[in-house]
């Protein structure tokens, strides 16, 4: 019989360092690894050419999922991993950076304007941090006697009361914002130059450690190596102290999010690999995915959508060289992640802990395909800033004083056969690679090691799975429970355990309903059917409908052929909005609330303006008290 714990009541058998469990059953450890903006086929075991031997080994001893889904962007996915519920409920209805400035997420193209995020500002579910409605995994596991630790990207709150340390992590070294320079490089500005608007929240490597802001990062610093060293250090410290508590380790990288930067030794491994361009890469990866059984042999991939950038054949030789080098750097970032996964997993094996550890790896969303050079916020001052303070020469690309991204064509080589990429609720934005190696006793329904499953699942399923494996009850299974004297919501995800044990053939019922929304892009999945709403210019700005079992590339819109089914699914969308608190950004998405005058100001919705001069020396002076609104009934 497995140990069983109620949230908020630490077991006397397990609480505290060095304690011994009297149960005959040793509770499993958990290692949850997340990559940032990784594409579906980037890993070798998912069809890619990038060297990922350590992740491949985990896959060969576990299970790969081909229908696993996240949110369309990073902090929403991370909120769902931590809580098991929808990000609109948990406080990350949108990236706070995108709520703060509408032009951060989409460019204006001719007569087509980005949709303002003003109606979401200050609203419940859009706080920009994990709110009080949710209880999160490390809180529950720590209460139940687990050692909880994290090293990597948090992106769920910038201020001390929102730090991991306050949400159940005993040990934490956390990257707080959305992204930053991976080498922590900051140019010494001259002549009164200001940080360009787009870069304010994308270059400073702001971290906290155990509840305090980090004043200076270890040197030399490279993000993935730094997080690997920290996580390895936490595990070694556990061994040195003979701390016999089981552990929950959260290991979320900031790579391969732009700016694309990696150590030279990894970049060298990919010299010339991408010289034929993204279309050739897309074809090669699709073929290998088919050979591996990761997608159907007869799949029709969605056409590449990238009108804002030139086709490969129309690039100059210099443009091709820089573009392929950007992809080389991206590949190097992925290989470096793999190396840092390897050193942690190898240590667990050395210590005899690996067999009893649930290890999983995923991306937080689809590959990042934004062509930022087309954004008005990037054109002009930011381009001049990069020319003055960074070195984007071919030879220097990938180093700390370079600043590049790779754009929509390379991204769609990684998301194929799916449509589009990060920030879109199409499959290319929300279907992500997921692999898992399970502790002994949870493999009856998995089949042979190295198997592949097409069972639908989402990042919300991780929390209920981990809690069930740990023998921990959620305090609010019906949504009416309390945690630390406050009401908390239930989990929307489903435990994978019955599926893994072979008592269920699927994780979700066949008639499940799942919704997505990010910046006015929306979707609902019902079994094999999916409706998608994508605003112009990337979509028609109306609901489209697809049968994913027959059309995983979302190529053949069936909305006009089966209007009755479409209307039924639109009603499912309306129900999802009501259940989760989505604030739609246009009347076409229903339940629309027009922005109030107080919500209209741009760029005043961040709790801590850490990028401003003097802010890191005296954070309190740069805190902003934000107004909060109630949703009108």
**Known catalytic residues?**
74, 155
Inter-residue contact 496 to 461 (CB < 8 Å): yes
3-class DSSP assignment, residue 152: strand
Report how far apart, in Å, the C-alpha atoms of 603 and of each of 28, 101, 609 are.
45, 5, 10
Crossing angle (nearest 10°) for helices 317-350 and 223-240: 0
- By the 10 Å C-beta count (0-12 exposed, 13-18 middle, 19+ buried), 310 is classed as middle
Query: For residues 419, 536, 124 and 249, what is the CA-based torsion angle, rounded to 10 degrees?
Result: 20
Secondary structure E strands in 169-283:
171-175, 207-209, 212-213, 247-252
Distance between CA 157 and CA 169 in Å, rounded? 14
| Residue 600 neighbours by CB distance under 10 Å | 11
Distance between CA 207 and CA 215 in Å, rounded? 8
The residue written with tokens 């194929």 in the block is 416
Query: For residues 581, 586, 589 and 593, what is the CA-based torsion angle, rounded to 10 degrees?
Result: 40
Question: How many helices and strands in the chain, by DSSP H and E?
Answer: 15, 20
Residue 512 backbone class (left: φ over 0; alpha: ψ -120 to 50; beta: rest): beta
Q: Please confirm whether the linkage preceding 548 is cis (ω < 30° from 0).
A: no
Strand partners, 518: 521
| Residue 398 neighbours by CB distance under 10 Å | 23
Strand partners, 252: 34
- Select from 265, 262, 266, 242 the least CA-distant residue to 254: 262
- Select from 284, 270, 276 the least CA-distant residue to 313: 276
For CA atoms 56, 61, 66, 72, the dihedral sign is negative
Give 451's contacts (C-beta < 8 A, 6+ positions apart).
Answer: 63, 64
Distance between CA 249 and CA 157 in Å, rounded? 19
Report how far apart, in Å, the C-alpha atoms of 144 and of each of 167, 348, 458, 467, 605 are.
14, 22, 25, 10, 36
Distance between CA 348 and CA 359 in Å, rounded? 11
Report how far apart, in Å, the C-alpha atoms of 89 and of each of 37, 153, 427 are.
23, 21, 22
Q: What is the DSSP letter of 623?
A: B
Show contacts of 616-623: CB within 8 Å, 24+ apart.
Answer: 616/204, 616/206, 616/213, 619/159, 619/213, 623/159
Distance between CA 124 and CA 530 in Å, rounded? 27
């Amino acid at each position: 019989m497995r140990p069983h714990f109620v949230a908020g009541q630490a077991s006397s058998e397990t609480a505290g360092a060095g304690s011994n469990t009297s149960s005959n059953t040793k509770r499993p450890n958990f290692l949850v690894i997340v990559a940032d903006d990784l594409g579906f086929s980037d890993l070798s075991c998912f069809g890619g050419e990038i060297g990922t031997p350590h992740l491949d080994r985990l896959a060969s001893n576990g299970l790969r999922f081909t229908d696993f889904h996240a949110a369309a962007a990073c902090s929403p996915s991370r909120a769902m991993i931590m809580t098991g519920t929808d990000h609109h409920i948990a406080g990350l209805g949108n990236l706070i950076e995108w709520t703060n400035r509408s032009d951060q997420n989409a460019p204006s193209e001719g007569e087509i304007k980005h949709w303002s995020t003003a109606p979401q500002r200050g609203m419940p579910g859009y706080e920009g941090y994990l709110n009080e409605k949710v209880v999160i995994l490390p809180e529950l596991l720590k209460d139940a006697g687990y050692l909880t630790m994290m090293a990597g990207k948090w992106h769920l709150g910038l201020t001390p009361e929102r730090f991991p340390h306050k949400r159940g992590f005993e040990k934490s070294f956390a990257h707080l914002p959305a992204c930053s320079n991976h080498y922590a490089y900051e140019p010494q500005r001259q002549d009164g130059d200001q940080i360009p608007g787009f870069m304010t929240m994308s270059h400073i490597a702001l971290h906290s450690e155990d509840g305090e802001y980090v004043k200076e990062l270890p040197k030399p610093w490279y993000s993935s190596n730094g997080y690997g060293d920290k996580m390895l250090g936490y595990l070694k410290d556990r061994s040195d102290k003979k701390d016999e508590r089981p552990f929950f380790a959260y290991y979320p990288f900031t790579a391969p999010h732009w700016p694309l930067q990696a150590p030279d030794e990894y970049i060298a491994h990919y010299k010339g690999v991408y010289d034929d361009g993204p279309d050739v890469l897309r074809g090669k990866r699709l073929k290998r995915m088919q050979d591996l059984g990761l997608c159907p042999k007869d799949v029709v991939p969605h056409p590449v959508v990238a009108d804002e950038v030139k086709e490969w054949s129309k690039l100059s030789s210099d443009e091709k060289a820089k573009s392929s080098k950007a992809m080389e750097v991206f590949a190097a970032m992925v290989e470096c992640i793999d190396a840092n996964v390897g050193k942690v997993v190898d240590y667990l094996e050395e210590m005899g802990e690996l067999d009893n550890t649930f290890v999983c790896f995923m991306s937080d969303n689809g590959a990042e395909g934004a062509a930022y050079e087309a954004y008005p916020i990037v054109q002009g001052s930011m381009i001049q800033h990069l020319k003055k303070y960074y070195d984007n020469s071919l030879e220097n690309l990938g180093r700390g004083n370079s600043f590049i991204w790779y754009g929509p064509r390379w991204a769609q080589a990684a998301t194929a056969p799916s449509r589009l990429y990060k920030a879109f609720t199409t499959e290319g934005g929300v279907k992500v690679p997921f692999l898992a190696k399970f502790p002994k006793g949870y493999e009856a329904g998995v089949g042979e090691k190295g198997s592949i499953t097409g069972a639908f699942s989402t990042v919300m399923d991780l929390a209920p799975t981990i809690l069930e494996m740990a023998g921990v009850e959620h305090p609010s299974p019906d949504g009416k429970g309390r945690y630390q004297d406050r009401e908390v919501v239930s989990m929307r995800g489903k435990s994978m355990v019955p599926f893994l044990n072979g008592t269920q053939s699927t994780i979700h019922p066949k008639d499940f309903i799942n919704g997505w929304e990010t910046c006015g892009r929306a979707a609902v999945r019902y079994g094999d059917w999916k409706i998608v709403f994508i605003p112009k210019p990337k979509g028609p700005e109306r609901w489209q409908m697809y049968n994913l079992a027959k059309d995983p590339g979302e190529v053949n819109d069936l909305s006009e052929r089966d209007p009755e089914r479409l209307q039924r699914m639109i009603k499912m969308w309306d129900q999802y909005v009501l259940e989760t608190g989505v604030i739609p950004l246009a009347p076409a998405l229903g339940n629309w609330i027009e922005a109030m005058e107080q919500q209209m100001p741009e760029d005043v919705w961040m709790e801590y303006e850490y990028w401003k001069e003097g802010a890191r020396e005296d954070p309190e002076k740069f805190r902003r008290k934000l107004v909060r609104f109630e949703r009108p009934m």
